[in-house]
Structures are given as structure tokens and as C-alpha cells.
Amino acid sequence: MATDTGRKLYNVGGVMLKQPFKIRRLGHFGYNVHNMDECVVFYRDLLGFKVSDENDFKNNPSPQVQEWLKDIENGKGYFMRYGADHHAFVLFNAKVMDAMAAGRAAASGKSTEGMTGAHGININQITWQTGALSEVIGAYHYFNEREVPIMRVGRDMPGSNWHVYCYDPDGHVNELYYGIEQEGWNGRSKPRDMYYRGFREEPGLPQMSEEDEVDEALEKGIDIHSGYRSKEMLSQTFEVGGVMIARPFKITKIGPVNLFVKNVGASIEMYTEDLGFTVTEEVEYKGRRVAFLRNGAEHHTLGLFPEELRGELGWPDVSTCMSFGIEVGSYQQLRDAVAFLKEHGVRFLDLPAELHPGIDYAAYALDPEGNGIMLYYYMEQLGWEGKPRPAELRRALGPAASTHRVEDWPEALEPLSDTYVDQVFQGPIG
Ligand SMILES: [Fe+2]
């Protein structure tokens, strides 16, 4: 294991770090699914993600891709957002991703080991924001130096984010990016006519600013207001904090991502040494090690669970992702969200509260394929000393907190020192 002694350091904006980048937050996440129509209803209509762009992989002009996807009926994938980021969640067709992985493997003579869509991995990507384009390029070279397997580097459209993709020890795709497209007041995405600024290779530095790109598009006569705009599918019948929206809650943040992994120690090493995460807390549950890692002031954005726990927890055997976290705007919204989703037939699972340290009340929903979604409203924030709150100073939780029976949860809570501290959703909620 690498030690700090004698380790090469990198200048990141004038500060010497162990990696040539610093992850600032979880940017987006995605699942590859088989039942696309049902999943779109779940994520868009029930959870309230807005579709920012659709991408039909069958429209890819490459004859090779056309051949790989010739037996697939519907190649559509969806980019979704809850705020201004072009996407915070993506939903891609598992059959398409499997066929692309198999096609690429056959073309390169390599196995599909570690490729998205292969070997039961249905996580499309786990994506982290860095602070600069130069950090992304630094990460690309750093991964090469350390022989971290890389999937690709460049800039994808839709979304416009500059990125590098690498694999973790289980084959999960982690993406580091800079500069994701922001959607403004009119909710329109960048038009396809501007996609010519995409890159399929390492971009040379420096690059022109996005402001210049927009000016250039105008000079080319592109209608910059012709991008995709989604439509709310449900009636806006719920009052949330004085505004009428289509469900009794609003997503205000994404993460943490909880993974089932083969070897918790190996994953901790990769996420700390290669990606720069910090371990906040470890929990021993039934003699097994569970680790919670962060890259900001939040208690955790990543949970690493040994895969042996899946059976003991009674979790569906559909994904190496145990749960994708979705924060809602308040404790009341959390209780209302669970009731709303149950009314729409969504299934929930119970999880002992000790397995979400730093979060007091949480409920675990299953999407139509059995992928886990953790709903919560509060996460402990760490101060300058980087220490989590001692267990005895945390909110005392009764047995109901380890269940999704929200009717048995308290009506209202006493505040904590960091209640609503990370509730910084910007802009209108609907
Ligand atoms: Fe991405």
C-alpha cells in the first residue's frame, strides 16, 4: 500500500495534494434497466426527475454500432435532472449496454470483464465532480501512471461535461468530470447542433470557454433555444412549502451511493488512494466490515458493503448497487414521499438504522426492477476536524427508524446542530 512518505504530490490550484484533482461532490449516477417504460414512470413521474434529453443509441451513425444493435427494438436512454445540472441520473437500456460491451470486446479482442453492462453490473456510472478541466486531464494521466483501468476520456454530448472514466476493483465505472451543462429558467437543454464540440479523445489544453462556444454557435446560425424541454406528466396538485407541484416532495440532492463489493479493503484502497476519498466511519455489522467514505463535509457519499451481507439483509439480487440515495427537502417531505410512493404501489425494504450512520431517518424503496433507492432528508456534516459525531451524541432513534413505517415515526423532530445545513437547493422547486 502506498504511504504518504515520499509520495509524489500534485499542485491543484496552488495546493499540494496526493492526487492531481479533488472530487467535490457526487455529480450523477445511472442504472441500466430492462423494463424501460416502467422505470421511466418510476424515476420521472413518481420521484420527479425531469428528462433533460433522450438519446437513441440506434441513431448512432457508426455502421459497427448499427450492427451491434440490429436486434434491439428500442435503443432509447434518458438523461434526467432535479436541478440545473443537465443530468443527475441516467437510465439506459441494459440490452443496449450489453450489446455495446460485447461488440466493443469482440472488436478489441478483449473480454467484457469490467465493462459496463457486463457481469451483472447494472450501474451505468458513478460520477464525481472535480474543480477544473485541468484536474480531469490530470486524473487521466494519474490513472495511467497508476495503471488504473480507463474506459475513455473526452467530452460527451448530451451534457457537455469533460471527463475521464475508470473502473473500480469490481468493474463499476467511475467518472470524473468538469463543467456539466447547466439548464436555466426555461428548462431547455443545449441543442444537438452544438454537439460538434464533443471529444472522443484527450482534449488539448486550454479549451475555449462555454461562453465562446455559444457565441460561435450563434455565428454559425444555430438556434440555441431549440434544445429539448420536458413536460410534467402529472397534475400539480400537491402544495410543498407554498408551491403547487406534482408530488409531495422535491429531490434536493443525490447520493450517497451504497455498493455491494467483493472486497471492502481493496475498494477502500482504490477509492482513497486512487480517487482521494476519506473514510469517515466504519461499522461492524454481524462481524462484517462496512465503510462510509466522503469527499466533502457530508458524513458520506459512498458506502462499501461486503457482498455477503446481501443475503443477510434480504436485499434483491439484481444489482451491485445496494442503494442510490435521494435527499428530499425536509423531514415532512420524507414522510410524505414514502406515503405517496406506497400509494403508487412502490415496494419498500427495512434496513437497520446502524447501517446508515450520519443519517437519522431513511426509507429504502425499490424501483420496478428491484434496484434500491434510499430516501432521506438529513445528513450529518463534518467540521474542520473531520470527525463524525460520536454515536452517543447522535439523535436517539427508536425501533421504528429501522423500518419504513413512517406513520410510526415521530410527527416532528427536535433540531440538531446541522439540521438543514446541507439543504441548499437553488432555484424554484418546480
Ligand atoms: Fe456521465
Q: Do domains 10-233 and 240-408 have the same CATH topology?
A: yes
DSSP-based three-state secondary structure for 45: helix
**Distance of alpha carbon 387 from alpha carbon 3, whole angstroms:** 22
Q: Cβ distance 82 to 254 under 8 Å?
A: yes
The upper half-sphere exposure of residue 109, i.e. CA atoms within 13 Å in the direction of its Cβ, equals 0
On the question of a cis peptide bond just before residue 63, with omega within 30 degrees of 0, the verdict is: no
Average pLDDT, the chain: 95
The angle formed by the CA atoms of residues 272, 276 and 279, to the nearest 5 degrees, is: 50
Query: What is the whole-number distance in angstroms between the Cα of residue 86 and the centre of ligand 1?
Result: 10
Supply the pTM of this predicted model: 0.95
Give me ligand 1 centre to Cα 174, in Å: 9
Distance 212 CA to ligand 1 centre (A): 23
CA of 125 to the centre of ligand 1 (A): 6
Q: Domain 240-408: what homologous superfamily? A: 2,3-Dihydroxybiphenyl 1,2-Dioxygenase, domain 1 (3.10.180.10)
Residue 117: predicted pLDDT: 47
Residue 114 has pLDDT above 80, yes or no: no
Cell matching residue 386: 473531520
CB 372 within 8 A of CB 364: yes
pLDDT in tens, 18-58: 999 999 999 999 999 999 999 999 999 999 999 999 999 99
What digits encode the pLDDT tens for the residues 211-258? Answer: 999 999 999 999 999 999 999 999 999 999 999 999 999 999 999 999
Question: 82 C-alpha vs ligand 1 centroid, how far in Å?
Answer: 15
Residue 130 CA to ligand 1 center (angstroms) comes to 13
* Count of CB atoms situated within 10 Å of the CB of 330: 18
Half-sphere exposure of 321 (CA within 13 A, CB side): 29
pLDDT band at 135 (very low <50, low <70, confident <90, very high): very high
The CA 182 to ligand 1 mean position distance, Å, reads 14
If you compute the radius of gyration of the chain from its CA atoms, what whole number of angstroms results?
21
Mean pLDDT across the stretch 381-406?
95
How much is the pLDDT for 102? Answer: 87
Q: Give domain 10-233's CATH superfamily.
A: 2,3-Dihydroxybiphenyl 1,2-Dioxygenase, domain 1 (3.10.180.10)
Cis, peptide link before residue 158, omega less than 30° from 0? yes
236 CA distance to ligand 1 middle (Å) = 30
- Of the candidates 309, 347, 330, 353, which has an alpha carbon nearest to the alpha carbon of residue 420? 330
Query: What is the whole-number distance in angstroms between the Cα of residue 176 and the centre of ligand 1?
Result: 8
Quick one: average pLDDT of 413-419? 96
Domain boundaries, the chain: 10-233, 240-408
Separation of CA 32 and ligand 1 centre (Å): 13
Neighbours of ion ligand 1 (CB under 5 A): 127, 175
The CA 286 to ligand 1 mean position distance, Å, reads: 35
Q: How far is the CA of 81 from the centre of ligand 1 (A)?
A: 12
Cα of 27 vs centre of ligand 1, distance in Å, is 8
CB atoms within 10 A of CB 390: 7
